[in-house]
Structure 1
Amino acid sequence: MSRAVRPYTILLARQKGIEVLRERASPMPPRCLPTCWAEQEDAEALRELADLGDDHAADLLVRLLAERGDLKQLRQLADNGDSRAARRLADLLVEREDVEELRQLTDAGNIHAATRLVDVLATRGDAVSLRQRADNGDVYAAARLPEVLAEQGMLELLDREVAAGTEGAARALRRARIGSADS
């Protein structure tokens, strides 16, 4: 679609509705309209089209909100079940190092936030928080805990994890012992 047609298309869509536009614009590729709105950073128009079930518009809306850093609207979409928004929201919170907000999202059931929170805790070497999360049933934290204990040389705690049957603990302990023998 040419640049000259875009403003007319957008105006027509707003005045006549999406269905009229689709009827009149049969040669226009269906992805063109949301792309035009994304280029103009028109989040409201993208949201309207996304609400009608247009996945491409929904993708573009999430991307636009993430680029703007609009955590509030991303969280709103995520709370309404949009997994794309949930993933981008978690990624933005990691970039901002907002562990508390990641915890809140995780506790609210956001699986993307849960995995990203565990990644942050593991990267920080926060074995205590990982242990707490694992004790509360967080399988992601339980899986990462042995690796963190090994990295920090907490072999006694890692021995306890092996005795408790924690998956991956024996492997992490072997690696830690081999690594400490090489030193």
Structure 2
Amino acid sequence: MTTAFTGAAFAGGQGTPRVPTLPSGWPIGSYDSYDEAQRAVDHLAGNDFPVTDVTIVGVEPMLVERVSAKLSWGKVLGGAAMSGAWFGLFVGLLLSMFTPGAGLLPIVMGLGAGIVFSLIFAAISYGATKGRRGFVSTSQLVAKRYDVLTQPRNAEQGREMLARFSMRAHALG
């Protein structure tokens, strides 16, 4: 990636490539969670290892969608009314600040308009799904394992450092 400071493109394992590319390097550690891989790289960084040569690779990625609630017309319209009320209140307050002597009328109008328009748009949007998406969920990209790679010139040193780090971690906990 070209930066404003260097003007340099990706070269020799440093920086981020401009197009999607497979990672390069030799594996020096493998972990069950991203947090563990991140702690390993933090350990390397704290011990003056050249971390610009390090890559964390998620192996066997999968998209996990966790369902958090069932949707209904009541929930959709209730949520729309609340968010519309907040937005309308905000707009109404702004209008009242810049309209001398207007009193509460801009606030009430903004509140009402926010609720009405939000309800209309939410009803159209939810109605268009025709019951095909009757739930709320969040998606997350995860991997079965996370490998830490480094360039061959540093692989042996990296493996030794991570092996010592792992032995210390197992001894402590």
Q: Tell me, yes or no, whether TM beats 0.5.
A: no
Give the TM-score taking structure 2 as reference length. 0.22
Higher strand share: 2
> Which structure's residues are more often helix, by fraction?
1
Q: With a CA cutoff of 8 Å and minimum separation of 6, indicate the structure with the bigger relative contact order.
A: 2
Larger radius of gyration between Structure 1 and Structure 2: 2
TM-score using structure 1 length:
0.21
